[in-house]
Amino acid sequence: MRKLVAFFAFAAIAGAVQAQELKCQVKVISPTVQGSNTQVYEDLQSAVFEFMNNTRWTGDKFKLEERIECTILITITDRPQNDVFKGNIQVTSSRPVFKSDYQSKMMEVKDNNFNFRYLQNATLQFTPDQHRSNLSSVLAFYAYYIIGLDYDSYSMEGGTPYLVKAQQIVNNAQSAPESGWKAHEGSQNRYWLIDNYLHRQFKPLRLAYYTYHRTGFDKVYDDIDGGRTGITETLEALKKVHQARPGSYNLQVWFQAKSDEIVNLYKVANPQEKTRIFNTLKMMDASRLSKYQKILSNKR
């Protein structure tokens, strides 16, 4: 009997130290929607939180401290029917930098193609080979995309299995009435986000998620100049993507996530390195030129 009690106690402890893959903070807001039933937004927030954090997305075991940090902000802008919602979803994720408490942002996407049905108090259901619900499909797509980018940052193309699952979700939704899943609907949607990333022309960008972090930021603590050199080489390699697909959605997503930390890193570089990286950034990400001007400051 004691052995049985000890076994269950050990199993409880083992279960406590293992966790799902994501540590996802969720917020649902409806700043412009009129109506008396605001409880539905709180219930939706709880349902999304449970779905993202309690779904087993991979076969790998994660410790609590190894979970991938991400956030989801859902903004409801219209509610044409009791169970129909329209709005946008903003998704971010980050990754810890070696030997520091700094989190490097991996992605920041604002998806405006976000219409869905939700019945209050309903549990979100997801089937990998079927488009059952637009809400759960969108959430699952971003869950796999987040995981894929994270795995890519630790080993070259390590996120392939999960990126392929994200693409499968897109393929399953080709007959869905909701927008955001199809190539012809625009150049900045879920279809192009995953299709571009897995395309051979975007190979330098995919490799950048590895080299930028493993041969760059993860070395900054021990050797800031050497780490910054690795990041410089990574950013210059992205020129091939820019030349092949100028203004691509994926490069915009990359610089949306990375621009602030790039500026902070190169503010303390030597003048030659500042000029070199500024010219590279000006060519690929001209819309943030005023931000990159800060790199040329004389402060070190």
Tokens found for residue 169: 């979700």
* 0.95 exceeded by pTM: no
Dihedral sign computed on CA atoms, order 281, 282, 286, 290: positive
Stretch (H or E) spanning 73: strand 68-81
For the chain, the average pLDDT equals 92
For residues 2 and 46, which has the higher predicted lDDT (pLDDT)?
46
Is residue 3 in a domain? no
The pLDDT value given to residue 17: 52
Task: Round to whole Å and give the CA distance between 155 and 219.
Answer: 15
**Are 14 and 36 found together in one domain?**
yes
Evaluate if residue 8 carries a pLDDT over 70.
Answer: no
- Distance linking the first and last C-alpha atoms of the chain: 67
The pLDDT value given to residue 36: 66
Residues 55, 126: contact at Cβ < 8 Å? yes
Is residue 4 in a domain? no
| Burial of 273 from C-beta contacts in 10 A (0-12 / 13-18 / 19+) | middle
Cα radius of gyration rounded to whole Å, the chain: 21
Stretch (H or E) spanning 26: strand 22-29
| Owning domain of residue 278 | 206-296
Tokens 């041969």 found at: 215
Tokens found for residue 281: 């950034």
Domain end residue (candidates: 198, 217, 251): 198
The pLDDT value given to residue 298: 63
**Are 270 and 190 found together in one domain?**
no
**Are 129 and 242 found together in one domain?**
no
Query: Could you report the per-residue pLDDT of 129-181, keeping only the tens digit for each?
Result: 999 999 999 999 999 999 999 999 999 999 999 999 999 999 999 999 999 99
Neighbours of 294 (CB within 10 A): 14
Domain end residue (candidates: 198, 216, 248): 198
Mean pLDDT for the stretch of residues 110-128 = 95
